[in-house]
Amino acid sequence: MTIRRRAAFACAILAVAPLAATASPAPAGALAAFPDYLSVRSEFLSAAITAAPARALAFKPAYRDTPAGRIRVSVERDGASFYVLFQRERDGGYPVGSAGNMVIQRAVSTGYVTGVVWYLSDDGTSYVSMTPRNERTVVDYVVAGALSRGDYPLSRLVYQVFTGSFRAFHDATRGALDWTLAFGQPGPEASEAFVSDLSSDTPSRAARALLSAADDFSTVGAYLSAVDAAGYEPEELREPRFAKAASLEDPRAPALKPLRPWSDDRGLPIEAAMATMLAAPAGGAYIALVDGVRELPPRKLVIVPYRDGLGAYALPAFDAETGDSVDLAGVVRSMAGASVRLFSLPLP
């Protein structure tokens, strides 16, 4: 890597933009591939979504086969609310947080809809939530666990979402939301190739050196030498200017909580890590040094973000000591409140 390329990469990392910086439509391919269960929602509109509370609460789970997979429709009561859930089967189960899934919250006493959550990613950390407010619907747009745009007033009733396609919702909000954050352009190929390398039974010298650098940061020079970037100074990512993160203790009704800013002594809150990497320029590898929290020990991870063939983001992570694949979203959830130092490095 040349001095000019290293300097450009460093400047780009230091200038990470806020998640809400632009409003852009999703690529056509990503829209076409989104698992929209419109036919199933339409079928059960009067039986569960708009039915009187007593009838809706007596609803028995139903299953439908669609081009996107098998869909379960169910109703769950929780105190003064009940939820109508549309969930896609994945690996034999029906997780709440998965792309295409919709959760409709209603009041037991009145039957009124009080909120809707539409999931955008299979890791359950990206979604739009909608709250009725008079003749409008207030939208919160969360990507990779961080609030990209909140309190956006959409000039339509929330009930129109039930019988409308995802494409229609996208088109109604494309002037306000940056849909490329959730659905971008595929690639970079170098990132995907390096993930395959890290996953291999016989990883390359560079892959082994990066895992070693995450385990012992003082050895990062060996990785930089292996990728022809000797002399490059690793850059620590600092938080873009988003103020809230998703709290997903109950994925049927995710909440938003304030985020503390990046600090010299603690780094980033772990809840901001995934979104921070997505907001940075594509094509980097990351070392994440996570402080221990509660009874959980510290974690040392290697992360290489990329976009799959449909533009959905992937954040594959690897344990520095064992080289094993790690569920990054699961780490973030389990270690809520922890801090992380996040360093960017060039790819081979």
Task: Provide DSSP, 200-239.
Answer: SSS--HHHHHHHHHHHSGGGHHHHHHHTT-TTPPPEE---
pLDDT at res. 266 = 87
Q: Could you tell me the sign of the dihedral formed by the alpha carbons of 219, 223, 226, 231, in that order?
A: negative
Residues written for the chain: 348
Contacts of residue 63, defined as CB under 8 A and 6 or more positions apart, other chains included, come to 70, 71, 72, 73
100: which 2 tokens?
């295409």
For residue 27, the tally of other CB atoms under 10 A from its CB is: 18
Q: What is the DSSP letter of 307?
A: E
SS3 (DSSP) at 106: strand
pLDDT at res. 157 = 87
pTM exceeds 0.85 for this model: yes
Question: Measured between alpha carbons, how far apart are the two ends of the chain, in Å?
Answer: 9
Q: What is the DSSP letter of 158?
A: T
d(CA 187, CA 123): 19
pLDDT at res. 10 = 42
d(CA 136, CA 130): 10
Contacts of residue 60, defined as CB under 8 A and 6 or more positions apart, other chains included, come to none
d(CA 245, CA 268): 12
pLDDT at res. 241 = 65
The backbone region for 2, taken as left when phi is positive above 0, alpha when psi lies in -120 to 50, beta otherwise, is: beta
- Regions of the chain where pLDDT drops below 50: 1-20
What's the gap between Cα 346 and its chain centre? 23
175: which 2 tokens?
């002037």
- Give helix 189-199 / helix 205-215 axis angle, nearest 10°: 80
pLDDT at res. 231 = 84
pLDDT at res. 6 = 41
86: which 2 tokens?
């549309």
311: which 2 tokens?
């533009």
pLDDT at res. 14 = 39
Q: What are the φ/ψ torsions at residue 242 (nearest 5 degrees)?
A: -105, 150
344: which 2 tokens?
């960017």
pLDDT at res. 79 = 96
162: which 2 tokens?
């039930």
Q: List, for residues 29-84, the tens digit of each pLDDT value.
A: 999 999 998 999 999 999 999 999 999 999 999 999 999 999 999 999 999 999 99
- Alpha helices by DSSP H, the chain: 3-14, 28-33, 38-43, 53-57, 159-162, 166-173, 189-199, 205-215, 220-226, 273-279, 328-334
Domain boundary assignment for the chain: 3-20+185-346, 30-181
Contact by Cβ (8 Å): 242, 18: yes
pLDDT at res. 167 = 95
pLDDT at res. 166 = 94
pLDDT at res. 74 = 98
d(CA 83, CA 141): 20
